[in-house]
């Protein structure tokens, strides 16, 4: 059995934490779409093939918890929610673009 301390000690590569943040179902695709414009849940459901409400909401919540996305309630009619990249998320755009270029 591994403890948290042992797991932290085994992470010798600085990029490992970053890759872990963006790993998971739909997270890279959500991040890629957020680089270009604010995101709405219904748009994500249409844009991401195979996405369903449950997995998409989990991925959005996790990206929000790690500080890469910010949930913004727009109080105009109709009331809606948008997701924007945070400052930390924007700092990752050049790194993410480099990862996209690897074939």
Mapped onto helix, strand or coil, the DSSP state of residue 24 is coil
How many Å apart are CA 58 and CA 13, to the nearest integer?
27
Helix (H, G, I), strand (E, B) or coil at 80: strand
Domains (range + CATH), the chain = 16-101 (1.10.10.10)
pLDDT at 83: 95
**pLDDT, block means (10 residues), the chain with 103 residues:** 50 76 87 93 91 93 94 88 94 85 79
Give the pLDDT confidence score for residue 2 in this predicted structure: 46
Strands of the 80-85 sheet, one edge to the other: 39-40, 80-85, 69-74
- The answer to whether 80 touches 61, Cβ cutoff 8 Å, is no
């Amino acid at each position: 059995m591994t403890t948290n301390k042992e797991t932290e000690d085994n992470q010798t590569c600085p990029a490992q934490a970053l890759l872990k943040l963006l790993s998971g179902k739909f997270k890279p695709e959500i991040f890629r779409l957020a680089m270009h414009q604010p995101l709405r849940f219904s748009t994500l459901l249409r844009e991401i093939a195979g996405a369903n409400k449950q997995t998409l909401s989990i991925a959005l919540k996790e990206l929000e918890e790690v500080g890469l996305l910010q949930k913004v309630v727009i109080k105009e009619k109709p009331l809606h929610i948008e997701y924007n990249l945070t400052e930390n998320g924007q700092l990752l755009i050049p790194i993410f673009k480099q990862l996209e270029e690897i074939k």
